[in-house]
Amino acid sequence: MRRIFILIILIIMLTTVGISEKSTPLISRSALFGNPDRITTRLSPDGSMMSFLAPVNGVLNVWVGPADQPERAKPLTNDTYRGIRSYFWGYSNEHILFLQDRNGDENWRVYSVNLSSGKTKDLTPFEGVQSQIQAVSPKHPLECIIGLNKRDPEYHDLFRLNIETGNLTLLQENTGFSGFEVDDDFKVRLASNMTQDGDIEIFKPGEDGIWHRFMKIKMEDTISSRFAGFNKTNEKIYLIDSSDRNTAAFYTLDLDSGQKSLVAEDDKSDSAGAMIHPTEKNPQAAAFYYDKLQWKIIDPSVAEDMEYLADLEEGEMRVVSRTLDDRSWIVAYTVDDRPTRYYYYDRSKKQAKFLFTDREKLDDKPLSRMIPVVITSRDGLDLLGYYTLPLGSDADDDGLPDKPLPMVLNVHGGPWSRDYWGLDATHQWLANRGYAVLGINFRGSTGLGKSFGNAGNLEWGRKMQDDLTDAVNWSIEKGIADPKKIAIMGGSYGGYAVLAGLTLSPEVFACGVDIVGPSNLITLLESVPPYWKPDIEQWTKRVGDFRTEEGRKLLRERSPLTYVHQIERPLLIGQGANDPRVKQNESDQIVKAMQEKGLPVTYVLYADEGHGFARPENRLSFYAIVEAFLAEYLGGRYEPIGSDFKGANFTVPSGAGEIEGLERALEDMSLANSSVGI
């Protein structure tokens, strides 16, 4: 009798798991990858106004309203196509500045919008020129410092820019430096230059007009070291530095003596920056990020604020905007299973008022948790990663599914970047479709100490790729992944890893999705944007030297194009036609080689995109194609394309017939410009 009872319970449990997993409602792609409702919330310097990015007729624009009544905000800008993704307040309190490129070419222009008149002015109307905002200061409310590579495409000269009139005044001609540090008085205090060894030499300007060598950052430390602003007197600069240690700590560096003083450190992760007082310019709390964000209090005057805010909500807390008088803050909370929540915080009252979430459509959606994990590589390195499981797949809540699942290995780009904990749209989308999702910080990823970062040097396609394979094997051993149903997907370097995975270990993955990934490392390095060339030694030391025969041999050995004949599994490629980093030729080359060998590949090309897909219409169309692709080869759930091709600007030069329903979908949506190939 007892056996029968146990059997009945097991049947009920298994049946419940199956129903729960299958009955989880599909979350629409538009809710995850369409425009957010409100993001990038900011306060004006005087605290009277609040701003954020929100859509106007489907395009992200800047909205502005009273700080105490954000519901009265109205659109200030009128972008009708690409959308604004980056903006900030001018210290005049009357201007908002934003950057915009053309169809992803990354030749950014600086625009100014006058709040009183509502007029937008292109402050840098130069064709084929990239603008970089170098410095803003409350001491110069109608000006900012920008860099322009107008005179020489490789080097940005510094200019004082009047944000009202657009007048430009040369501040510093760049005679061969890779970067500058400008203080609040708009004085150029430091310049940097890269040596043939990959070190960075720092120079100070002398009264004689000559640049004098001040310090050097060794190549092994450049992966984790950087400057982080000046103190109030401009006599000291803040430095995140890993010299003589593994993890980069936060220091104060005296510009006269060259002496540095330790401010904050962590033995597991590099400094992720600090909260700096808006006018006193002293560091108040230092951020460190191993598996999750951690704050270390430096200035006792904010301890009570930080404690109150930490207890207010779950998740990672960030102060994203502060007024000049420091009485008001905008605080954002990030968690893994709900949208970002914004609060307005009144410091004098020690009270926080909820404002809104960034994606209201996700507020009531069934979202999965993201689980941190440390995996040991075959040679003993700790690989920090995160994985996500479909809801209903883990009945006993032990962090492992009840049975192996189809899985997607999602590889981050960079590669000098990293994965983080939090609400990840790609993780949530794939988990909702029935896939386990794994992201791993392979060697070469940043923020985890210079030893780990430098372990990736000259290891593209080798140990960096081995780390990904080791993570896959771990997921199989733990019963997370079905070994016959594992996909690899990623963008930029992640796209390279997809191509490397399908060519160098074709037996591991069932299919791959490459987004703007390089296939030929020689042509990648030969075609970098001109303004990357001053730092080219970083690439030659970390990837391979395309200028020597020995280096070219290594790069050929690490290029997926060399091994295209070894591809056995289906491949989907997405590319932006205007990508200045990974040129269209990188995708064209491998598609052509696969076609010549009769290998199936689907190639989706976006005419108005660059390094990634900025327009939501393009994102939605591509992810609809990815979803159909994964459903065909891994067997997950699939939301019909519906209207997700509407407004997108893409062609399918090759392989529309390789994905079931794609040709029909193109016809149904009347994409007259789509070129459907084999």
68: Cβ–Cβ under 8 A, 6 or more apart, which residues?
A: none
* Selection from 345, 346, 347, 386 nearest residue 368 by Cα: 386
- Phi and psi dihedrals of 169, rounded to 5? -130, 125
8 Å CB contact between 348 and 29? no
Helix (H, G, I), strand (E, B) or coil at 59: strand
Listed in sequence order, the DSSP H helices in 386-462 are 425-432, 450-454
For the question of residue 20 being annotated catalytic, the response is no
Please pick, among 241, 337, 611, 644, the residue that the annotation labels catalytic: 611
Please pick, among 178, 492, 519, 654, the residue that the annotation labels catalytic: 492
Q: H or E stretch including 464?
A: helix 463-477
Query: And the tokens for 662?
Result: 């794609």
As a whole number of angstroms, the distance between CA 521 and CA 539 comes to 11
8 Å CB contact between 642 and 669? no
* Selection from 467, 477, 391 nearest residue 427 by Cα: 391
Encoded amino acid at 624, one letter:
A
Taken as a whole, the chain contains a residue count of 678
Where do the DSSP E strands lie in 492-570?
511-515
For the question of residue 611 being annotated catalytic, the response is yes
What single DSSP character describes residue 25?
Answer: P
As a whole number of angstroms, the distance between CA 582 and CA 520 comes to 10
8 Å CB contact between 166 and 183? no
Half-sphere exposure of residue 542: CA atoms within 13 angstroms, side-chain side: 25
Where do the DSSP E strands lie in 210-268?
211-217, 226-230, 236-241, 249-254, 260-264
Look-up: residue for tokens 């972008």? 79
Query: And the tokens for 29?
Result: 């792609």
As a whole number of angstroms, the distance between CA 462 and CA 458 comes to 8
Per-residue exposure over 652-670, b if at least 16 CB sit within 10 Å of its own CB, e if not:
bbbbbebbebbeebbeebe
* Selection from 83, 119, 125, 133 nearest residue 103 by Cα: 83
Please pick, among 467, 579, 608, 644, the residue that the annotation labels catalytic: 579
What single DSSP character describes residue 676?
Answer: -
- Sign of the torsion formed by the C-alpha atoms of 594, 599, 604 and 609: negative
What single DSSP character describes residue 614?
Answer: -
Active-site residues, by number, are 492, 579, 611
